Structure 1
Amino acid sequence: MSDTHRIGTSRISARIKSEGAELVSLQDAAGEELLWQAGPEWPRHAPVLFPIVGRLPGDALQVDGQVYPMTQHGFARDSRFEWLERSETVAHLRLRDSEATRARFPYAFELDLLFRVEDRTLGVETHVRNPGPGDLSYAVGAHPAFRWPLVPDVAKADHGLRFEKGAPREASRIEGGFLSGMRPVPVEGDRLLLSEALFAGDALVFGGIGEGAVRFEAADGSAPALRVAWEGYRDLGVWSKPQGAPFLCIEPWAGTAPPLGWNGEFADKPGNTRLQPGESRVYVWSVSV
């Protein structure tokens, strides 16, 4: 059985497991489940993406001319984190580099996930620290999947994402898992219109969108609605399966897949973050009911 911990208030509760430091449940005050509960369409809930977001050419990472195997979205989502704190309102977990990680990613690192609930909001802090003697290059991201339709009696196509800073009019096109030009997206005012067909060409990638927030809601204003906000992250992915899967992923990222045709040293990958020895960085996303 999974090693999990529940945190909660009278208005919201969450459950986190040590495998992948993954959020596996998010419920409102009435006990309604708002997070996708995994299934044959996609067997995950809200994986942590590290040390890459997306794919690398040949599923391989190059460092100083040496090649290491690196599968899509990295290894953190399949690694067991250690518990640092478990209380009624806080869950804190850590993943350190090890012999196993260095066989795939030859860098020293500490990756902390800190989950905290307050009133009707779950906040998730991701801390990346470089404890090693050399620079650390990486990308990091969140991948939470919320139920869609969020309001059960409202059609999926009658839901939208309302961008608080104005909706983008185009997203990066994905070809074979890599960025390839731009494509327009359907927008009305500050609202991105949602449909299954929107994801026929893979995820929507809004690179360089900066910090912000979106409101995932039914067009008629029916409850529930979710507000997802992010700080420190500069990119956003929005994804679902185009074949009718009942979830929508709203994904704050710091880094994306590379452009189609790029193939080089990982330290030079476009969009990576580089930390010098002893440096750390914090990324925060939150969801409010």
Structure 2
Amino acid sequence: MADLVEITGAGLSAAINPFGAELTHLRDGQGRELMTDADPAFWTGHAPLLFPFVGRLNGDVLRLDGAEYPMKQHGFARRSAFTLVEQDESQVRFRLEDDAGTRAVYPFAFALDAAYAIDGATLTVAITIANRGDAPMPASFGFHPAFAWPLPYGEPRADHRIVFAADEPGTLVALKDGLTASGERPSPLDGRVLHLSDAIFADDALIWDGLASRSVSYGAATGPQLEIAFPDTEKLGIWTKPGAAFVCIEPWHGIADPQGYAGDFRDKPGVFEIAPGAAWTCRMEITLR
């Protein structure tokens, strides 16, 4: 395992693993851990970066321009070694560039930058994906941070909830075997509040597509809260494994394949294209309040 790279600010500290450029620890000013314990009995991830797609591909195959490329769920970035580009006390930037291995499964020249910066009690994660090739590059991207459930402030696990910034009256995306399915899934929201329990995750992740909210707050009804802001996306996944000590709050710029999808990757739901020489950006902000 690579040595973690640490950054600090007035109200938070963070540690990032260059392997996957993955946020591994986020601690408050008293050193209390806000991220998952990564218990291998449940899930060993912390906050993987999902690229070049989000979720599963039908048959675990990326179909592009008549060719087929095998690729597992959430793409290869989370299992790739990033290069440390720059660092100071409160910020750091990592980069993943294409190589022979990536081009064998995703035939594009790219640079993926992940920048982490702490300002007071806010951690900002800024993503830049640059197309270094001479043809349009299709891609998706997602964040996948796993926060401690319960948070380390003495409130019971059962009292934790997620509160949406706006009303979300619609239904959720249905899933089957990790792929989006026909039909709709009833929303478990109580007004703007998602009361967390193992039972609501019995049928996999909760997925919203077409959110009005651009932030949610997570925590117990009393005590400190984490606000997760995602100004650039209208998709959100919330997931855990029943019994685990984490909950993932995942802003996505993409979504899993529909069941039976056999079309081109460029045409799949949630894919955007980056023009030659251009770059695409997004960010997520995590604030302790």
Instruction: Please state which band the TM-score falls in when normalised by the shorter chain.
Output: over 0.9
Cα distance between partner residues in 2 of 1:175 and 1:207: 16
- 1:239–1:248 CA contact under 8 A, matched in 2: yes
- 1:41-56 aligned at under 5 Å gives the runs 41-56=42-57
Alignment correspondent of 1:171: 172
**Structure 1, unpaired ranges of 5+:** none
How many residues align? The count is: 286
Q: 1:187 to 1:210 in 2, by over 3 A?
A: closer
Alignment correspondent of 1:182: 184
Q: Secondary structure at the match of 2:101?
A: helix
Q: Secondary structure at the match of 2:167?
A: coil
Deviation of 1:2 (Å): 1.7
Q: Secondary structure at the match of 2:228?
A: strand
Name the amino acid aligned to 2:188. P
- 1:54-203 aligned at under 5 Å gives the runs 54-151=55-152, 153-180=154-181, 181-203=183-205
Deviation of 1:188 (Å): 2.2
Name the amino acid aligned to 1:79. S
Cα distance between partner residues in 1 of 2:169 and 2:14: 31
Instruction: Tell me the alpha carbon deviations over residues 118-155 of structure 1, each in whole angstroms, 9 at most, x when there is no partner.
Output: 00000000111111011100110000000001255433
Cα distance between partner residues in 2 of 1:210 and 1:54: 22
- 2:167–2:213 CA contact under 8 A, matched in 1: no
Deviation of 1:210 (Å): 5.5
RMSD value, Cα: 1.3
Alignment correspondent of 1:215: 217
Cα distance between partner residues in 2 of 1:185 and 1:148: 21
Cα distance between partner residues in 2 of 1:92 and 1:211: 28
Alignment correspondent of 2:269: 270
- 1:210–1:235 CA contact under 8 A, matched in 2: no
- 1:167–1:191 CA contact under 8 A, matched in 2: no
TM-score between the two structures when normalised by the length of structure 2: 0.95
Cα distance between partner residues in 2 of 1:30 and 1:140: 33
Name the amino acid aligned to 1:282. T
Moved more, 204-213 or 119-128: 204-213
Deviation of 1:86 (Å): 1.2
Instruction: Tell me the alpha carbon deviations over residues 52-74 of structure 1, each in whole angstroms, 9 at most, x when there is no partner.
Output: 10000111111111111110000
Q: Secondary structure at the match of 2:277?
A: coil
Deviation of 1:168 (Å): 4.5
Deviation of 1:10 (Å): 2.4
Cα distance between partner residues in 2 of 1:94 and 1:19: 11
Cα distance between partner residues in 1 of 2:211 and 2:191: 17
Instruction: Tell me the alpha carbon deviations over residues 79-127 of structure 1, each in whole angstroms, 9 at most, x when there is no partner.
Output: 0001111110111001011100011111121110010000000000011
Alignment correspondent of 2:257: 258
Cα distance between partner residues in 2 of 1:37 and 1:83: 25
Cα distance between partner residues in 2 of 1:5 and 1:172: 37
Q: 1:82 to 1:217 in 2, by over 3 A?
A: same
Deviation of 1:3 (Å): 2.6
Q: Secondary structure at the match of 1:132?
A: coil
Deviation of 1:166 (Å): 2.2
Q: Secondary structure at the match of 1:46?
A: coil
Cα distance between partner residues in 1 of 2:271 and 2:97: 19
Deviation of 1:224 (Å): 2.5
- 1:204–1:238 CA contact under 8 A, matched in 2: yes
Moved more, 61-70 or 13-22: 61-70
Q: Secondary structure at the match of 1:188?
A: coil
Q: Secondary structure at the match of 2:250?
A: strand
Alignment correspondent of 2:23: 23
Cα distance between partner residues in 2 of 1:255 and 1:98: 24
